[in-house]
Amino acid sequence: AKRLNLTEMFMRCLGTAAQVTENSIYIVLFLAFMLAGSTARPASAADDVHARADAQIFAYIRGKSAISLLVSCVNALVLRAIGLDLWLVFAVLTFWLNFIPNVGMASSVCLPMPLVLLDPSFGPAAAAVAFVGPLVAGLVAKDVLEPLLIGHSTSLQPVAVLLSIMLWGSVWGITGMVLAVPMTAVARIYLAGLNHPLPRYFASVLAGTPAEPAASDEGNASGVELAELPSMTM
């Protein structure tokens, strides 16, 4: 009976590892295609809005990937320093989870803690380092690096983040949860770049900010003001 239980447990772990590997491959391929597609530039100079949206999308994906890699490396060094055997696994999880705002940072901090707290070989100092190190790395990445490298053009309100995670998680599982926020941020950037009030309204709903007027509206307003100036001076 023990052998059967061990075999069944091993098969379950193997299946979970295979699923995680498959999801990781899907995520890598999807992000690679997003990066490759965002480097393309429109052939016509009239599509300047699309060019600016593509530039913001590329900056977001590139900056977010670099920040996720940096945070995962810091977490790997911290967990490796205290002697945790699964430091590489948690570093990989940190990289992918960092694409999910707030939820990803909290998960990357809390996931190693049960192993550290339940292992008698780790003392209170090791537990404190395992908690404070990833927490500080996540806070610095969120409050310092992301505004510096990415800016606030990709900001999403928490309700939009939660709904996007629920939607894409129900469609693609873990892969959808990781890719939900990047795809929603890309959609917001593209909608905000279009010169029409309706897509800009949806972009403002996703960001939770007032909608910006379209360029045509600003041009019309300025034209009206310029047209009224001669009549006022005469």
Residue 215 reports pLDDT greater than 80: no
Residue 84: its pLDDT value, please?
Answer: 87
Please give the sequence-ordered ranges of beta strands (E in DSSP) within the chain, or none if there are none.
none
Q: What is the pLDDT of residues 95-153, one digit of tens each?
A: 888 877 777 788 888 888 988 888 888 889 999 999 999 999 989 988 888 877 776 55
Which structural domain, as residue segments, surrounds residue 122? 49-151
Whether residue 100 is found in the same domain as residue 194 = no
Residue 78 has pLDDT above 90, yes or no: yes
92 and 140 share one domain: yes
Instruction: Give pLDDT, residue 1.
Output: 44
> Mean of the pLDDT values across residues 28-42?
60
Q: Are residues 208 and 194 in the same domain?
A: yes
Residues 158 and 66 in one domain: no
Domain count, the chain: 2
Question: What are 154-193's pLDDT values in tens digits?
Answer: 567 778 878 888 888 888 777 777 777 777 877 887 787 7
Please tell me whether residues 126 and 61 are part of one structural domain. Answer: yes
pLDDT, the chain, mean = 74
Residues of the chain with pLDDT > 90, as a percent, come to 10
* CA atoms of 200 and 226, how far apart (whole Å): 26
Same structural domain for residues 61 and 121?
A: yes
155: left (phi over 0), alpha (psi -120 to 50) or beta: beta
Q: What is the DSSP string of 115-139?
A: HHHH-TTS-HHHHHHHHHHHHHHHH
- Residues 59 and 147 reside in one and the same domain: yes
Do residues 158 and 125 share a domain? no
109, 126: one domain: yes
- pLDDT > 90? residue 65: no
Give the pLDDT band of residue 223 (cuts 50, 70, 90): very low
Q: Has residue 199 been placed in a domain?
A: yes
- Which pLDDT score, from 0 to 100, does residue 190 have? 78
Residue 149: CA count within 13 A, CB half-sphere: 19
Q: What pLDDT does 29 receive?
A: 72
State residue 52's pLDDT score.
67
| SS3 assignment, position 112 | coil
Domain-located, residue 195: yes
Same domain, 166 and 119: no
Span of 58-67, 108-117, 205-214 with lowest mean pLDDT: 205-214
Give the percent of the chain with pLDDT over 70. Answer: 67
CA distance 208 to 155: 9
- Rounded Cα distance, 122 and 116, in Å: 6
The answer to whether position 213 is within a domain reads: yes
Residues 135, 87 within the same domain: yes
Q: Do 70 and 130 share a domain, yes or no? A: yes
The pLDDT value given to residue 132: 92
Give the per-residue pLDDT at 76.
Answer: 93
Closest CA to 183 of 1, 34, 24, 21: 34
Q: What is the structure's pLDDT at 214?
A: 53
Q: Are 71 and 108 in contact (CB under 8 A)?
A: yes
Q: Is the confidence at residue 205, as pLDDT, over 60?
A: yes
Question: Does the residue 187 lie in any domain?
Answer: yes
Residue 16 lies in a domain: no
Say if 164 falls within a structural domain. Answer: yes
13 within a domain of the structure (yes/no): no
Residue 186 lies in a domain: yes
